[in-house]
Amino acid sequence: MRKPLIVFDGQENLFGRALFCVSSLYFAEPWFPLVTVRFIDIENPDVLTALAAARWDLGIGIEAWERSRSCLTSPLAGATVYAGVAYRSAAGMRLDEARAGGVAPVVMLQHPDAEWLSASALLHAEMAFDPRRFADHLGAMVKMLS
């Protein structure tokens, strides 16, 4: 049986928080062996460096797909979960593509804009700032979807 694929948004910029997501992997040891992990849309070399360090520190495989990578299929193809943390807005993430492909989005927002403010954003606000809680939430999703 194939492991579920978790795809993380790899943007580290004004809105994307990929380094936060990399940090969360350090708290994912209980469920990490159950999944395959891929970071996509990486443009910042610091994210590649952090992923290399996480591979070394944790002894795990992590796929790193740069934005410039050409693909015949969507980088979300085969994913179970599309995860990420964003500042103010998740407009730069592949949420429409995820929904169209039946991929469950798990998005936390730091200080959401009014148009992105929702009961869910408020309920999950602490997870947008705490990598351990974000990892625990993803772990619960993995167990539920596995």
pLDDT value for 2: 84
The two three-digit tokens of residue 99, written as one number:
């929904």
For every residue of 107-131, which 3-state class applies, written as one string? EEEECCCHHHCCHHHHHCHHHHCCH
Please list the residues that pair with 17 across neighbouring strands: 12
Give the pLDDT of the chain (146 residues) as one tens digit per residue. 789 999 999 999 999 999 999 999 999 988 988 899 999 999 999 999 999 999 999 999 999 999 877 777 899 999 999 999 999 999 999 999 999 999 999 999 999 999 999 998 888 899 999 999 999 999 998 888 77
Q: Which residue has the tokens 């539920």?
A: 144
H helix or E strand, kind and range, residue 17:
none
Structure tokens at 86: 């964003």
| Backbone CA torsion sign across 88, 91, 93, 98 | positive
pTM: 0.94
Partners of 64 in the β-ladder: 39
Count of beta carbons in the 10 Å neighbourhood of residue 55:
14
Task: Identify the pLDDT of residue 41.
Answer: 96
- Please name every residue paired with 6 in a beta bridge, in sequence order, or none if there are none: 37, 81
Q: Which domains does the chain have, with CATH numbers?
A: 5-145 (3.40.50)
Task: Specify the residue for token string 């996509």.
Answer: 40
- CA distance readout (Å), 79 to 1, 37, 125, 126: 14, 9, 25, 25
Rounded to an integer, what distance in angstroms lies between the CA atom of residue 57 and that of residue 144?
27
Task: Please answer whether residues 6 and 142 qualify as being in contact, where contact means their C-beta atoms are separated by less than 8 angstroms.
Answer: yes
Q: Is 15 helix (H, G, I), strand (E, B) or coil?
A: coil
Q: pLDDT at position 35, please?
A: 93
